[in-house]
Structure 1
Amino acid sequence: MKFAIALFAPPHAPSSRRALRFAQAALAGGHQIVRLFFYQDAVHNASSNVVSAQDELDTPAEWRELVHQQQLDGVVCIAAALRRGILNEQEAQRYGRSAGNLEAPWELSGLGQLHEAAQTADRLICFGGP
């Protein structure tokens, strides 16, 4: 089965961990993830500046490792990211900011990527939605 996963929750929310575990279990079960799409406060999961407490799961690092190791399509909504100060180097330069905090393997893109993923996948699974 081909899944698209949309995450709406910040790193410290239980639904972020649930989405991560679902993605790991789906891949371990031989399923495919056509796209991960981070929207609203979930864009913080892609920030390279999030620091988790020592006794907590480092959800952003886990997401980054999963996307990198599995070569997944990890997309961060550009509008939601910019509103929350999540910028790659190109956007940081464009808006005159001193540094970016979004690095590979993440890609900034628009909501059209979520729509396309929903059309391509067998199932769109949403975590932490409104």
Structure 2
Amino acid sequence: MNYSIAIYGGPYSDQASLSALHFARALLKREHRIQRVFFYHDGVYNSSALVTPPQDEINVPTQWQTLASEHGIELVVCIAAAVRRGLLDEKEAKRYSKSSYNLAEGYTLSGLGQLIDASINCDKLITFGA
């Protein structure tokens, strides 16, 4: 079965992202496919290259990067939600005349159309967070 996942919660503000990560791993273990993970609202904080949790905590954003790299999963970040929260890729940093960018490798900024596309082209869209 082909899944897509939407994450609305930040990596450390609630359980949404970590629960979604565990769910994704369980799906892959059962040989399902995950087409896309879409980060929206505070979920966009999962894409920050600057997240640095204490050494005894799970680095949730890095875990998403690793999972995506190993299984060919798209990590898409809502561009409007990201820019509003100060998360920029190189292109957006230039567009807004910012001196730096902080979108982590493996994540892509895009619009809500990617979430709609995911819901149309997968068997199930599962949402985590409010």
Separation in structure 1 between the aligned mates of residue 104 and residue 91 of structure 2, nearest angstrom: 11
SS of residue in 2 equivalent to 1:125 = strand
Aligned to 1:52: 53
- The equivalences for 1:1-130 within 5 A come to 1-12=1-12, 13-129=14-130
Structure 1: segments with no counterpart, 5+ residues: none
Tell me the C-alpha RMSD between the 2 structures: 0.9
**Deviant stretches of 4+, over 2 Å:** none
Please, what TM-score do these two structures have when normalized by structure 1?
A: 0.95
SS of residue in 2 equivalent to 1:124 = strand
Per-residue CA distance 1:28-64 (angstroms, 9 max, x = gap): 1100111110000010101100111222111011011
The answer to whether the 8 A contact 2:49-2:105 is kept is: no
Count of equivalent residues: 129
Aligned residues: percent identity? 47
Which letter does structure 2 place at the counterpart of 1:11? P
Separation in structure 1 between the aligned mates of residue 48 and residue 65 of structure 2, nearest angstrom: 9
Structure 2: segments with no counterpart, 5+ residues: none
SS of residue in 1 equivalent to 2:76 = strand
Separation in structure 2 between the aligned mates of residue 37 and residue 72 of structure 1, nearest angstrom: 10
Separation in structure 2 between the aligned mates of residue 61 and residue 103 of structure 1, nearest angstrom: 9
Separation in structure 2 between the aligned mates of residue 96 and residue 50 of structure 1, nearest angstrom: 23
Separation in structure 2 between the aligned mates of residue 23 and residue 126 of structure 1, nearest angstrom: 12
